[in-house]
A and B are shown apart, each in its own frame.
Chain A
């Protein structure tokens, strides 16, 4: 990685990526370097295995779910635009973005709503737009491993669903999810700033 010079010209569709994701040219170059470094065998795309070999990700309790979010709809190949689009969710929110935004253009990928959507789909496995009690349990089980008993976990899941559920359907929809987190500083908690 350090011995390859990658100029912006080598990145395919760099201008449209800049507009879509909001990353600067330098950041895109850094991410492209990273993409190539992760693609050890030089295939030009990333597979699940490439991401699973990142140790810090493999030991993350939600590691597999995070990897899934890069491969939507059962696809097996992750190309660079797809890679950057997911990462764009974590771009810090600039104040200027909000002011200058043209309301007719689609929401930027790193808006508060999109960050919340990213977090939501980590819970909502079947993509039905609701987090059922069962899905809540599964996510909790991932995060605690074998350390907590089934009963304790069930009561935590029940309590959480009850608190967030407003229309009483026993599941948490995206709007209910967003509402329960409206006081949270999402922008700070779900942002990764690229320094150079």
Chain B
């Protein structure tokens, strides 16, 4: 009897604490500063750990270079220089060297494949999962690491799971209740309140610290918000600061329940799987949605797949054919505190969420950017590239022309033809060959 009573008491106190310290402040958008203190302690600990590793490793060998430098020495000079010739030079047997070297460089390291695995850290952040080349240094460091494991798995994980559970349940219940009301201003207000509160709770469930920059450029009603995609958490991060209309496929299971609940409170655009294949249908529905200019901005991730937050890949032109004002947003996570990238070929959504919940924290920056519209004489592809560059520059990410969705498919021939064209120009170019024939 005493055992169950004790357990009951603990659960009761636990829930009261959670309610008082986290849920209530979330509802009012207020912060008690507990997470700030946690982050400060965390930063100090990681700095100390880095120092220990550096002094430890310096005794053994030189510390490795920054992870952003590639592993091979690259000669990025253009084809002309690589083939050591001027235009119009003739074909040489040695030309094959240039192409074979480039080919083997690609085999050793290519800029795309590495974007689908987690970013390597410069210094270890006391998580086993990011331990690549860091060896055993000292017993004190190991002790801190063990302490970290205990804190993360036994203290933080249960807390975060509780919060997530409460957040999602509240969300489903709240939206269903609000959905009963007729469509009027009150409904919109309440729906916004429910969305924001539950998103804030869910963000606390991940120990998320988000910095919003340039909030004056927040996406307006009737616009389209585009952002780079790293994980499903992106949605959560953006929704904490404002309500959006979601676009996506109808799922089954828990996601399906959440989707159906959301749609009751405010109009999201969910497609059946079969409808998604019909591009024109999708664009038509989205056009109808923004035609009123009174609906919440649509949230779209034009990359179509999750990239590891070091680069931005090709933006699919579909989102840019709808018309309307585009509000770009750049999201950059700080990998030191936790890896937010979802590698869908390696982890399913549940193990991904567990990994996120057992990291230190999710820290990210969100930059809102001035709205952009398609200019005269610009087609959708050029517009998409323009927006992509702007986001890459703002977020400090590299820009890649490749299509992220092709990681399981073959590449377009257009790129190969471009190389062939350049090479042909070189060996045939000035008509030097023609003069030989005459």
Give the B-binding residues of A (Cβ under 8 A).
1-6, 30-31, 34, 37-38, 40, 51-63, 66, 86-87, 90, 118-119, 122-123, 139-140, 143-148, 152, 155-156, 159-160, 164, 172, 177, 180-181, 184, 186, 189-196
**Across the interface, do B97 and A189 meet the contact criterion of CB distance under 8 Å?**
yes
**Across the interface, do B345 and A40 meet the contact criterion of CB distance under 8 Å?**
yes
Q: A54-B110, A66-B104, A186-B97 are in contact. Are A147 and B419 (CB under 8 A)?
A: no
- B353–chain A nearest beta-carbon distance, Å: 16
Interface SS, B side: helix
| B415 closest partner in A (C-beta) | A59
**Across the interface, do B424 and A59 meet the contact criterion of CB distance under 8 Å?**
no
| Residue from the list B73, B119, B421, B433 in contact with A195, Cβ < 8 A | B73
| A29 closest partner in B (C-beta) | B133
**Across the interface, do A143 and B423 meet the contact criterion of CB distance under 8 Å?**
yes
Q: A147-B421, A156-B90, A196-B71 are in contact. Are A54 and B101 (CB under 8 A)?
A: no
**Across the interface, do B117 and A1 meet the contact criterion of CB distance under 8 Å?**
yes
Question: Can you list 27 residue pairs at the A/B interface with Cβ under 8 Å?
Answer: A1-B118, A2-B117, A2-B119, A3-B132, A3-B339, A5-B131, A38-B107, A52-B410, A54-B113, A55-B406, A56-B110, A57-B106, A59-B416, A61-B99, A61-B419, A90-B101, A122-B100, A143-B420, A144-B424, A145-B420, A181-B94, A191-B101, A192-B73, A192-B105, A195-B69, A195-B70, A195-B73
- A119–chain B nearest beta-carbon distance, Å: 5
- The answer to whether B428 has its CB under 8 Å from any CB of chain A is yes
Minimum-distance CB pairs A-B, first 5: A145-B420, A147-B424, A56-B106, A59-B415, A66-B103
Q: A54-B106, A54-B107 are in contact. Are A4 and B69 (CB under 8 A)?
A: no
- The answer to whether B411 has its CB under 8 Å from any CB of chain A is yes
**Across the interface, do A56 and B104 meet the contact criterion of CB distance under 8 Å?**
no
- The answer to whether B275 has its CB under 8 Å from any CB of chain A is no
**Across the interface, do A192 and B72 meet the contact criterion of CB distance under 8 Å?**
yes
Q: A3-B117, A3-B130, A140-B91 are in contact. Are A60 and B103 (CB under 8 A)?
A: yes
| Residue from the list A2, A38, A145 in contact with B424, Cβ < 8 A | A145
Best-buried of B93, B104, B419 by chain A (most CB within 10 Å): B93
| Residue from the list B91, B96, B119, B428 in contact with A122, Cβ < 8 A | B96
| A123 closest partner in B (C-beta) | B96
**Across the interface, do A160 and B91 meet the contact criterion of CB distance under 8 Å?**
yes
- The answer to whether B352 has its CB under 8 Å from any CB of chain A is no
Complex Cα spacing A86 to B427, Å: 29
B-chain residues with CB within 8 Å of residue A155 when the two chains form the complex: 433, 436-437
B-chain residues with CB within 8 Å of residue A55 when the two chains form the complex: 106, 110, 112, 402, 406, 411, 415
Q: A40-B345, A62-B103 are in contact. Are A193 and B72 (CB under 8 A)?
A: yes
**Across the interface, do A164 and B93 meet the contact criterion of CB distance under 8 Å?**
yes
**Across the interface, do B437 and A145 meet the contact criterion of CB distance under 8 Å?**
no
- A137–chain B nearest beta-carbon distance, Å: 11
B-chain residues with CB within 8 Å of residue A52 when the two chains form the complex: 410
Complex Cα spacing A86 to B103, Å: 12
Complex Cα spacing A194 to B65, Å: 12
Complex Cα spacing A103 to B244, Å: 73
Q: A3-B129, A55-B411 are in contact. Are A118 and B100 (CB under 8 A)?
A: yes
Q: A57-B103, A196-B65 are in contact. Are A2 and B112 (CB under 8 A)?
A: no
Q: A56-B110, A156-B91, A195-B73 are in contact. List 9 more A-B contacts (CB 8 A).
A: A4-B132, A5-B132, A60-B102, A122-B96, A143-B95, A146-B420, A159-B90, A194-B73, A195-B69
Complex Cα spacing A165 to B92, Å: 14
**Across the interface, do A195 and B107 meet the contact criterion of CB distance under 8 Å?**
no
**Across the interface, do B111 and A56 meet the contact criterion of CB distance under 8 Å?**
yes
**Across the interface, do A196 and B106 meet the contact criterion of CB distance under 8 Å?**
no
- The answer to whether B9 has its CB under 8 Å from any CB of chain A is no
| B117 closest partner in A (C-beta) | A1
**Across the interface, do A58 and B101 meet the contact criterion of CB distance under 8 Å?**
no
**Across the interface, do A184 and B94 meet the contact criterion of CB distance under 8 Å?**
yes
| B101 closest partner in A (C-beta) | A190
- B119–chain A nearest beta-carbon distance, Å: 6
A-chain residues with CB within 8 Å of residue B107 when the two chains form the complex: 38, 51, 54, 57, 66, 87
Best-buried of A139, A181, A192 by chain B (most CB within 10 Å): A192
| A86 closest partner in B (C-beta) | B104
Complex Cα spacing A181 to B84, Å: 14
- The answer to whether B109 has its CB under 8 Å from any CB of chain A is yes
- The answer to whether B114 has its CB under 8 Å from any CB of chain A is yes
- B124–chain A nearest beta-carbon distance, Å: 11
**Across the interface, do A194 and B132 meet the contact criterion of CB distance under 8 Å?**
no
| Residue from the list B120, B402, B407, B433 in contact with A2, Cβ < 8 A | B120
**Across the interface, do A190 and B423 meet the contact criterion of CB distance under 8 Å?**
no
- The answer to whether B64 has its CB under 8 Å from any CB of chain A is yes
| B345 closest partner in A (C-beta) | A40
**Across the interface, do A180 and B101 meet the contact criterion of CB distance under 8 Å?**
no
Complex Cα spacing A4 to B130, Å: 7
- The answer to whether B417 has its CB under 8 Å from any CB of chain A is yes
- The answer to whether B108 has its CB under 8 Å from any CB of chain A is yes
| A149 closest partner in B (C-beta) | B428
B-chain residues with CB within 8 Å of residue A144 when the two chains form the complex: 420, 423-424, 427-428
**Across the interface, do B108 and A87 meet the contact criterion of CB distance under 8 Å?**
yes
B-chain residues with CB within 8 Å of residue A193 when the two chains form the complex: 72-73
A-chain residues with CB within 8 Å of residue B99 when the two chains form the complex: 60-62, 66, 143
B-chain residues with CB within 8 Å of residue A2 when the two chains form the complex: 117-121, 130, 132
A-chain residues with CB within 8 Å of residue B19 when the two chains form the complex: none
